[in-house]
Structure 1
Amino acid sequence: MSQRPLNVGLIGGGGGAFIVQPHQRAIHFDGTRRVVAAALHPDPKVALEEAANWDYPITGYTNYDEMIEVESKKPIGERVDYVVVVTPNHVHFDPSIKCVRAGIPVFCEKPLTLNLDEAQQLVDAVKEAKIPFGVAHTYLGHWTSRFARFIVTSGLLGEVRWADSRYLQGWLAGRTEDAGVAQAEWRVDPKKSGISCCGGDIGTHALMQLRYITGLDVTKVQANLVTFVDGRLLDDHFTTYCELSNGGKALVRASQIAIGHKNDLGIEVNGTKGTLIWDQEFPEQLKILLPDQPDRTYFRGAVAANDGFLGDLPEELMAEPNIPAGHPEAFHDAYARLHRCFEQDVRAYNDGQPFSCDGSKYANVQDGLNGMNFIQAAVNSSANGSTWVDL
């Protein structure tokens, strides 16, 4: 028997915001979720106009306070089952914590909040409410990210000695913010972006990819944050040297002034038995390098168990690809996988059943707090001559 589609609300996303489109496509991807309501813009008039002009019928609200008040009073089945927060960083905390306190699950863009204090408050609220909460670290949604996590955490590479996790872009190499590019304007504004531009925006992705794939945490950081573009108040280049919870070492680095780089997120993990290489711009494949053996390249949809390197593979992992190898999944598919997994926990929450929200399928609120803690430690380290700072 089919289940009713979950009702999803959007907070933010008006004014031509890029990130709302991948989310709304991912929400509709499986036919089991649908956008039904939105508070799209801080200007109430614009919010209603944009909702009225949405590509399909939705209920528009003048602001997120109105949406939360109205929707939280409706019974389950009629109200929004979860909201997606796609606002700039300084408007993550307030709608998120209000939804949590109203009993509405939240899927929030990263970084979690504007500062560490807000992040801790949100973690406490989520724990008290016992409610699903996800953070949209997109690239965990690639199947090859899941596969990489299985390989490393099951010990196939041995003990992790070293990892290099990077995210390189070039779109802020000049004064992009002076060209009327809204996505640049708010990112370089400390009041809207927080204490770090490059680190908060994409360095958190590099950190999350490291933590997710290795299963390890960063325990100590030594950082150098640089602002190359004159007049900019926040970093546009972010480099950290890290100690890991198993005693290994890592680089977590990001740049938005690396001309020619577009969306170059990648990670290399060196273990005592071999090396793993994964690149987001080539998300269908994953490379394994072993001593005295030919290099191995695994492709999504064409992975076989017990091949001389891999042993048995989890049934759940192998069931995730839904199109054959050679028919590429991509960015929107990664978002859809995150929403699909979040949907499972929201349905369990609605039914009063246990749910995991444990970080194994999508980043949770604790992951968001860890990201904010990392950024704060990196900023402190860089400001104090790149001294070591404990997390």
Structure 2
Amino acid sequence: PDPEIAMNEADNWPYPVKGYTSYDELFADQANLPEEERVDYVLIVTPNFVHFDPAMKALELDLPVMCEKPLTVDLEQADQLVAKAKEKNVPFAVAHTYLGHWSSWFSRFIVQSGLLGEVRWVDSYYLQGWLADKLEDTGQMQAEWRTDPKKAGGSGCGGDIGTHALMQLRFVTGLDVERVSARLEKFVPGRPIDDHFTIYGEMSNGGKCLVRASQICIGHKNDLGIMIAGTKGALKWRQEDPERITILLDGQPDRDYWRGAVSANDGFLGDVPEWLIDEPTIPCGHGEAFHDAYARLHREFEKDVRAYQSGDEWSCDGSKYANIDDGRMGLAFIDACLKSDEADGAWEAVTKG
């Protein structure tokens, strides 16, 4: 971190903001302000190894937090943060951005309404190709910290994007992955941390799943997707085509649903909630994308923050965005995967908080 860059960015910001040379300076300043003049919440968008300390210091000041994923570099730190957030009773979100897509919410409604029947199988994946070569040796900063176990944590690819695939599965299906058989591989010579992540899992309803991620698949950019197979039908969705959901029911034509083009009681989906129909903010055909998903997460988190500030009821229940318990489950999943991989893929239970 370069304090001079931070101060220059603040000076050149389009509207007045106060710059700080460190987050410690920021928190010291916040501690001396009246409650109504403090920041509404702290957004942590730093490399993994700089999540725990600022998050803990924000919670000590009773400041709500939205933190990038993974929550921390290991399960021990995650458990400490969860305990502090519960003690302080402060809203805490984890920025799994793809949950903010309207199509993620709609997929969640479809699956949890029972339209597909009992979930038997889930294939949730995130494929990239940008680390197919040893980019970290060229001075590329994003590659450098993501391939350094001291900064990224025990799993590189798994922690960086495998947690997205896991969270998409958990959010849409409402199921947990309870046991894993894992293989974490290093395809690029000399890389000390995994760049390919393949996990066979058992879900909380007895169904099976594949959670897979790769950063060495040339041609793939941010190819996050999910396929859910149930006893009555299946659902498919891809983040790179985020406004379309494909539903396939046994004995019926395949159907594509688009954001903004869904009505209640269409004879197929049943009673779609009015809030879900009304959620899109622009007409269909005008594409929503990554920034819209991120904005939707912030909007929903802000609702809980405003309620917290005014003393009203708030939930952070994980129904619109990932909460700190979801973040902790991501680290428990990674922890189990590391142990399974060390045991040559032996089954390992995912610990619950």
Under a length normalisation based on structure 1, what TM-score does the superposition of the two structures give? 0.88
Structure 2: gaps (5+ residues):
none
Q: Does 1:178 align with 2:137?
A: yes
Structure 1 window deviating more from structure 2 (319-328 vs 67-76): it is 67-76
Correspondences of 1:226-375 after superposition (within 5 Å)? 226-375=185-334
> What RMSD, in angstroms, separates the aligned Cα atoms of the two structures?
0.9
Query: Which residue of structure 2 lines up, in the alignment, with residue 6 of structure 1?
Result: none
Kindly provide the amino acid, as one letter, of the partner of residue 176 in structure 1. L
Q: CA deviation at 1:122?
A: 0.2
Query: Which residue of structure 2 lines up, in the alignment, with residue 221 of structure 1?
Result: 180
The structure 1 segments of at least 4 consecutive aligned residues displaced by more than 3 Å after TM superposition are: none
Aligned with residue 159 of structure 1, among 118, 124, 140: 118
Query: Which residue of structure 1 lines up, in the alignment, with residue 50 of structure 2?
Result: 91
Counterparts of 2:31 and 2:69, CA distance in 1: 24
Q: Is the 8 A contact 2:263 2:277 kept in 1?
A: no
Q: Does 1:79 align with 2:38?
A: yes
Query: Which residue of structure 2 lines up, in the alignment, with residue 143 of structure 1?
Result: 102
CA distances 1:264-288 after superposition (whole Å, capped 9, x unpaired): 0000000001000010000011000
Counterparts of 1:81 and 1:230, CA distance in 2: 45
Counterparts of 2:10 and 2:169, CA distance in 1: 38
Counterparts of 1:328 and 1:78, CA distance in 2: 37
Q: CA deviation at 1:76?
A: 3.4
Q: Does 1:62 align with 2:58?
A: no
Q: CA deviation at 1:105?
A: 0.4
Query: Which residue of structure 1 lines up, in the alignment, with residue 6 of structure 2?
Result: 47
Aligned length: 350
Structure 1 window deviating more from structure 2 (170-179 vs 66-75): it is 66-75
Q: CA deviation at 1:78?
A: 1.7
Counterparts of 1:148 and 1:76, CA distance in 2: 39
Q: CA deviation at 1:101?
A: 1.1
CA distances 1:100-136 after superposition (whole Å, capped 9, x unpaired): 1101100000000011100000000000110100000
Structure 1 window deviating more from structure 2 (285-294 vs 71-80): it is 71-80
Q: Is the 8 A contact 1:277 1:288 kept in 2?
A: yes
Q: Is the 8 A contact 2:264 2:273 kept in 1?
A: no
Q: SS of the residue aligned with 1:59?
A: coil
Q: SS of the residue aligned with 2:49?
A: helix
Q: Is the 8 A contact 2:111 2:172 kept in 1?
A: yes
CA distances 1:358-384 after superposition (whole Å, capped 9, x unpaired): 100110000000000000110110111
Counterparts of 1:201 and 1:273, CA distance in 2: 33
Q: Does 1:108 align with 2:101?
A: no
Q: Is the 8 A contact 1:72 1:104 kept in 2?
A: no
Structure 1: gaps (5+ residues):
1-41
Aligned with residue 157 of structure 2, among 198, 203, 219: 198
Counterparts of 2:15 and 2:127, CA distance in 1: 36
Aligned with residue 388 of structure 1, among 325, 331, 347: 347
Aligned with residue 78 of structure 2, among 99, 119, 130: 119
Under a length normalisation based on structure 2, what TM-score does the superposition of the two structures give? 0.97
Q: Is the 8 A contact 2:182 2:346 kept in 1?
A: yes
Q: Is the 8 A contact 2:264 2:277 kept in 1?
A: no
**Identity of aligned pairs, percent?**
65
Q: CA deviation at 1:297?
A: 0.3
Structure 1 window deviating more from structure 2 (68-77 vs 84-93): it is 68-77
Q: SS of the residue aligned with 2:295?
A: helix
